[in-house]
Amino acid sequence: WAKPHEVVITADLSKTGPVINKDIYGQFAEHLGRGIYEGIWVGKDSPIPNTKGFRNDVLDALKAIHVPLVRWPGGCFADEYHWREGVGPQDKRPIKVNTHWGGVEENNAVGTHEFFDFVELLGADAYINGNLGSGTVQEMAEWMEYMTSDKNSTLANERRENGRDEPWDIAYFGIGNESWGCGGNMRPQYYVDLYRQYATFMKTPPGKMPKLVASGGHTEDTQWTDVLSANIDSNMDGISYHFYTLPTSEWKEKGSATEFDNNMWFKTLERTMRMDKYLEDNIAKLDKNDPEGKLGFYVDEWGTWYDAEEGKEPGFLYQQNTLRDAVVAAVNFNIFHDYAERVHMTNIAQMVNVLQAMVLTDGEDMLLTPTYYAYDLYQVFQDSTSIPFTIESDDYVVDGEKLPAVTASLAKGKDGKTYLALVNLDPTEEAKVTLDLSGKKVSKLTGRILTSDAITDKNTFKQKSVVAPKQFTAKANQVQLPAKSVVVVALN
């Protein structure tokens, strides 16, 4: 019998920190595997109930967690995407080969109009990623005009003929993706000049300009953030950054999504917690080059990446999702909240059927993953105002390596209530969390918990609710936090 971990959270609830931008809860939908086709799009003639071609079951699930923002069409796909191939009558659109992802046929059924239908149905904002790697300045400039112009120009009229009178709003527009890799294998110095050139020609009517996103670095690299923020002095609202959690550090053998032991659980959490240091290091570069804090730091791809499932096309990046993924998600939310001053937007990779997905589909069937429920619990943090706090937590130790046993978030929600999120990373020990709130007594904490019997528990098409939230309450400034759990409670 072991003693529970001791944790003390200290805060003055009358103090406020930065707003936790709702776009931190953004998602990513790439033309990859069964992410778009089957996952969200089945076409208007499908027997699967749909609205404008988008499956109703998935739409309803995503609406329930209030997805604020969707990034599209890639990813690596974005730098090979030519927008003209995805407008006009669907049966006349060219069939391409998706060279990045499985070499499958891409019939361009989902193009610009369909994507905006999708985000409108969801009530989400649009994050479009432009093609810098293999497209021209003219192509990108014309796409922007097509989407946003309110004039009587030929391009705007083509949009009208294709069924859309009003220009669309674009919240973010990315100029290239992973330009250090699949987006063109560039060096940051070269990308800087290309960015400056492309961004010059991004023109919209007044008030319609999206936030322009430069494609930055990944993992421990800070050079891209440094070189971009030092050399791009206008037409840039933020720099993107990618970090994927692999249980091992090996791309060839990343580890299984569903079969792992307590050691591998620890390793996965240790690797995902590196997000904290990587953000700190990159934001230090921004603070040096942009001391006024004008630039955002956008983690526009993150999440777990495991070995492809046996028997599945490896290029489709389909993986199952367990309680471990929910804990990974919640740990990252807590880190993003800590950096809310700069981190205004993130996109988990990806929304449906790809990598750390919210939803998995199988024909007409659908299930919600543990990660979905982590997003569900944390909804109350969208556009909340953070409350500064300190946390003293015992360590969770494996083979002499340490992680904090508990991480947390504290914020005032848009509904005026104070919310506390707690994650117990330790798969075997519970934690006793004491709240020291400048003398304020909390009579009751009410909310929900996500946990399960085994670390590998998952939802399957046969058993869809193995990992699902349950009601949770605690009393008087103290929470008994079960092992391997995520809790979000309102303080009353």
Contact positions with ligand AHR (CB under 6 A) in 175-194: 177-178
- Catalytic-residue membership of 392: no
Residue 374 engages ligand AHR in binding (rule: CB under 6 A): no
69 binds ligand AHR (CB under 6 A): no
The nearest distance, CB 129 to ligand AHR, in angstroms, is 9
Residue closer to ligand AHR by CB (options 53, 133) is 133
CA distance 423 to 408: 6
| Contact pattern from residue 337 through residue 356 relative to ligand AHR, giving x for each residue in contact according to CB under 6 A and a dash for the rest | ------------xx----x-
Under the criterion CB under 6 A, does residue 76 sit at the interface with ligand AHR? yes
Q: What is the DSSP string of 130-178?
A: E--SSS-HHHHHHHHHHHH--SS-HHHHHHHHTT--SPPP-SEEEE-S-
The minimum distance between CB 32 and ligand AHR, in angstroms, equals 6
Angle at which helix 323-338 crosses helix 274-289, to 10 degrees, equals 30
Residue 328 · residue 268 · CB < 8 Å: yes
CA dihedral 78, 80, 85, 90 (to 10 degrees): -60
Q: By beta-carbon distance, which residue lies closest to ligand AHR?
A: 75
Phi-psi region of 455 (alpha: psi -120 to 50; beta: other; left: phi over 0): alpha
CB proximity list for 49: less than 8 A, separation 6 or greater: 55, 56, 57
In the list 30, 145, 237, 290, the residue contacting ligand AHR (rule: CB under 6 A) is: 30
Q: How far is the CB of 84 from ligand AHR (least distance, A)?
A: 21
Which residue number, 29 or 411, has a Cβ lying nearer to ligand AHR? 29
- The nearest distance, CB 9 to ligand AHR, in angstroms, is 34
Indicate the burial class of 109 (C-beta count within 10 angstroms; 0-12, 13-18, 19 or more). Answer: middle
- 3-class DSSP state for residue 128? strand
Q: Is 128 a residue that touches ligand AHR (CB under 6 A)?
A: no
Helices marked H in 232-317:
262-272, 274-289
Quick check: 301 binds ligand AHR (CB under 6 A)? yes
- For the bound state, the minimum distance from the C-beta of residue 354 to ligand AHR, rounded and expressed in Å, comes to 7
Q: Could you confirm whether 301 is annotated as catalytic? A: yes
Closest CA to 127 of 97, 149, 147: 147
Distance CA 40, CA 90 (A): 17
**Given 114, 142, 301, 429, the catalytic residue:** 301
Options 74, 184, 255, 404; binder of ligand AHR; rule CB under 6 A = 74
Instruction: Write out the residues near ligand AHR by the rule CB under 6 A.
Output: 30, 74-76, 177-178, 301, 349-350, 355
Q: Which residues does the annotation mark as catalytic?
A: 178, 301
